[in-house]
Amino acid sequence: MFSKIWTKKYTENYSNSIEKLREILEDADAVVIGAGSGLSTSAGLTYSGERFKKYFSDFIQKYNIPDMYSGGFYPYETLEEYWAWWSRHIYYNRYVDIPKPVYKNLLDLVKDKDYFVITTNVDHCFQRSGFDKNRLFYMQGDYGLWQRSEPCHQKTYDNEIQVKEMVKKQKDLKIPSDLIPYCPVCKKPMTMNLRCDNTFVQDEGWYEAMAPDEIKSQSICIDGDIGDVILSII
């Protein structure tokens, strides 16, 4: 009896919330979307379970890696192994079709609005689903970009051609040595353009997305720890 009452109440609350959100969106002049990993999980880009086993069963067997996220931090002994993992990880989360139309459905909700997206996701699903790239800020990086492992310059490099070649030619959990990417300036190894420490490269495109030209005059963008910034203002 209690379960039936609770379920009915939950369903009614859910329906009421959906209707309220629909009304708000219809009336809104502008929409700001903040998105994290849950959106891509809903779209089918899961990092564990059957999808992980399907694409990484050999890595699971050899290295006992529990999920895709953990695999990115595994201490591989060679660059050939490191890039065998990362090329496959990039390929299946950045360059294959998105399993479910969650992002396209979201675009349908806001495409006629003045919208802007701020996201920590690095899989490029927003732009791949038709969102205007000038209305996107990928603050944590992009699987489709490489950077120097110890940045000698603030520039990133597209990796699609190289990644697909690595996936195609990898064997025994290694890529051919001649496919290892090196910085064209200092000749040291490249790495992912992902914010994991203070070596993250924020190139010109990153800064332009952070403060688009049309709002720069009305904005203040400050680098640094948000806690320190707040204390400085107090």
- Residue 7, domain member (yes or no): no
**Cα 138 from Cα 202, distance rounded (Å):** 11
Domain ranges, residue 90: 32-207
Q: Is the pLDDT of residue 217 over 50?
A: yes
CA distance 9 to 14: 9
CB of 127 within 8 A of CB of 111? no
Residue 49 lies in a domain: yes
Residue 55 covered by a domain: yes
Tens of pLDDT, residues 161-199: 999 999 999 999 999 999 999 999 999 999 999 998 889
DSSP 126-177: HHHTT--GGGEEETTEEEEEEEESS-SSS--EE-HHHHHHHHHH-BTTB--G
Domain assignment of residue 109, yes or no: yes
Whether 81 is in a domain gets the answer: yes
The structural domain count of the chain equals 1
Residue 180 lies in a domain: yes
pLDDT of 157 > 70? The answer is yes
217 lies in a domain?
no
Q: Is residue 11 part of a domain?
A: no
pTM of the model: 0.85
**Residue 65 pLDDT more than 70?**
yes
Kindly state the tokens that stand for 219. Answer: 């904005």
